[in-house]
């Protein structure tokens, strides 16, 4: 399976967890993000590679933010996001490959 598809699934799972934690429906989040419900569903299920602007709008609708960080800093940031041994899966793990598929 492509590493790209895995990343999309991880993003979708992250959004879904955030949405359920906020007690929102798919339609509510889609409306907040300014996209249609079928399209937000695609994002949650990883069925489509949404545009950058769509990703940013969805993230912000859920109280999240997209960040670009050096790969070497990812572990430290993940530790900062889950101080207690929580299994929160804070972001889509890097897998540290670096290149293309």
Partner DNA sequence: TCACTGTGATACGTTTTCGGATCAAATAGA
Partner DNA sequence: TCTATTTGATCCGAAAACGTATCACAGTGA
- The reply to whether 37 sits near DNA by the rule CB under 7 A is yes
**Which is nearer to DNA, 38 or 75 (by Cβ)?**
38
Buried b (16+ CB within 10 A) or exposed e, 14-32: bbbebbeeeebebeebbee
- The reply to whether 38 sits near DNA by the rule CB under 7 A is yes
Out of 49, 56, 64, 74, point to the residue binding DNA (CB under 7 A): 49
Six token digits for residue 23: 């007690």
Quote the least distance from Cβ 2 to DNA, whole Å.
11
Q: What is the rounded CA–CA span in Å between residue 92 and residue 44?
A: 13
Six token digits for residue 83: 């101080």
- The reply to whether 101 sits near a copy of itself by the rule CB under 8 A is yes
Report the interface residues with DNA, using CB under 7 A: 25-27, 34-39, 41-45, 48-51, 54
């Amino acid at each position: 399976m492509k590493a790209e598809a895995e990343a999309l699934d991880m993003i979708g799972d992250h959004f879904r967890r955030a949405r359920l934690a906020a007690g929102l429906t798919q339609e509510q989040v889609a409306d907040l993000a300014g996209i249609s419900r079928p399209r937000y569903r695609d994002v949650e299920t990883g069925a489509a590679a949404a545009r950058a602007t769509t990703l940013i709008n969805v993230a912000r609708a859920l109280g999240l933010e997209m960040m670009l960080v050096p790969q070497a800093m990812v572990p430290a940031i993940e530790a900062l996001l889950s101080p207690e041994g929580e299994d929160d899966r804070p972001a889509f793990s890097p897998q540290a490959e670096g290149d293309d598929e």
